[in-house]
């Protein structure tokens, strides 16, 4: 066993990490991915979780149990600016290294890579492809979700779609009018132009509540999704689409024009979700004002955590065998 790993009492002597360091670049999207994975790893392995930044990394000796910080058995990083630090410090600590995206360094330098399928990496013993990015949303524990609650999630300015304030407001007005019994919470994001929420406020629609991302209500998207039956999302925000699907919401997409005639990976990913009928388009909804139920069952944070712990176990046992042969 590695100095910073621990063996469980199971029949097959499964080796679990005793301490996991999470290296974040501070970007909200990367932070959310790490949080979602960390929650499941902590639950499944009972490992100590330590948050840090690339510039805060220091060597911690595993031979000093009274140190202020435990030495890592596993190190997980998100964000291109963290990759070199992860490679260097995981080698210093003899720790299992994990990247949550397509790495900017060669794959062979890391023990595990978890990334969305649209990044284009081939699945292997070292690489796990996920459906969308990992998030911290939990699947709804209530299959019969409240029929009178819904969410509308707004992205904003991006290189993938042309943002259209009047078009978005017009669509939301039509949704709220066609479904007056549903109480809608509208969440914006840092990319949403302030004019969008201002125009929505001016509509004075009786069945919507605006939740700015900087407000307390705006930080409760995960909880709102768990109690919502329906969710509309702008197609530029793939992360929000997968959060809605993970929460088991019946999900539909507001309409925006792609920014390019040749669709990139984000637009192609959205088109695949539509083709597989996991989400409903604006045009489809307008035909009969109904959204097909979400039959996709997602919990990629849990699947990734289980895969990662299994990979760590196999990797740790292989190291033990090599060490035994040398003795």
User: Which residues on adjacent β-strands are paired with residue 153?
Assistant: 187, 233
Q: Give pLDDT tens digits for 267-309.
A: 999 999 999 999 999 999 999 999 988 888 899 999 999 999 9
Q: What is the mean pLDDT of the chain?
A: 91
Residues with Cβ within 8 Å of residue 69, at least 6 apart in sequence: 50, 58, 60
Q: What is the pLDDT of residues 244-272, one digit of tens each?
A: 999 999 999 999 999 988 888 889 999 99
Domain locations in the chain as residue ranges:
5-135+300-326, 149-288
Domain 149-288 sits in CATH at 3.40.50.2000
The partner residues of 21 in beta bridges, in order of sequence, read 50, 75
Low-confidence ranges of the chain (pLDDT < 70): 1-4, 6-12, 65-67, 142-146, 218, 327
| Separation between Cα atoms, residue 111 and residue 92, nearest integer Å | 14
Superfamily name with CATH number, domain 5-135+300-326: Response regulator (3.40.50.2300)
Question: What global pTM score does this model have?
Answer: 0.89
Q: Give CA–CA dist 132/298, Å, rounded.
A: 10
């Amino acid at each position: 066993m590695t100095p910073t790993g621990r063996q469980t009492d199971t029949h097959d002597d499964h080796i679990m990490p005793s301490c996991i360091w999470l290296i974040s670049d501070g970007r909200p999207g990367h932070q959310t991915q790490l949080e979602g994975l960390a929650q499941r790893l902590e639950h499944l392995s009972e490992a100590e979780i330590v948050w840090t930044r690339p510039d805060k990394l220091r060597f911690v000796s595993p031979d000093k149990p009274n140190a202020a910080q435990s030495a890592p058995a596993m190190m997980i990083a998100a964000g291109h600016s963290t990759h070199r630090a992860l490679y260097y410090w995981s080698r210093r600590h003899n720790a299992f290294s994990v990247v949550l995206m397509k790495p900017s360094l060669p794959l062979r330098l890391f023990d595990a890579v978890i990334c969305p399928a649209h990044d284009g990496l081939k699945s292997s013993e070292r690489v796990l492809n996920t459906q969308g990015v990992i998030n911290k949303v939990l699947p709804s524990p209530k299959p019969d979700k409240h029929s009178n609650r819904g969410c509308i999630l707004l992205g904003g300015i991006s290189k993938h779609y042309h943002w259209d304030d009047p078009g978005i407001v017009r669509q939301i007005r039509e949704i709220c009018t066609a479904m007056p019994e549903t109480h809608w919470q509208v969440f914006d994001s840092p990319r949403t132009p302030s004019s969008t929420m201002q125009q929505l406020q001016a509509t004075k629609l009786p069945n919507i509540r605006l939740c700015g991302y900087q407000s307390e209500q705006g930080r409760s998207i995960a909880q709102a999704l768990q109690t919502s039956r329906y969710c509309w999302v702008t197609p530029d925000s793939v992360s929000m689409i997968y959060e809605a699907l993970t929460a088991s919401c019946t999900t539909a997409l507001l309409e925006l024009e792609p920014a390019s005639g040749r669709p990139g990976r984000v637009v192609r990913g959205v088109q695949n979700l539509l083709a597989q009928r996991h989400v409903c388009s604006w045009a489809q909804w307008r035909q009969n004002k109904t959204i097909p139920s979400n039959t996709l069952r997602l919990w990629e944070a849990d699947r990734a955590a289980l895969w990662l712990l299994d990979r760590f176990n196999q990797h740790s046992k292989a190291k033990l065998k090599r060490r035994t042969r040398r003795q």
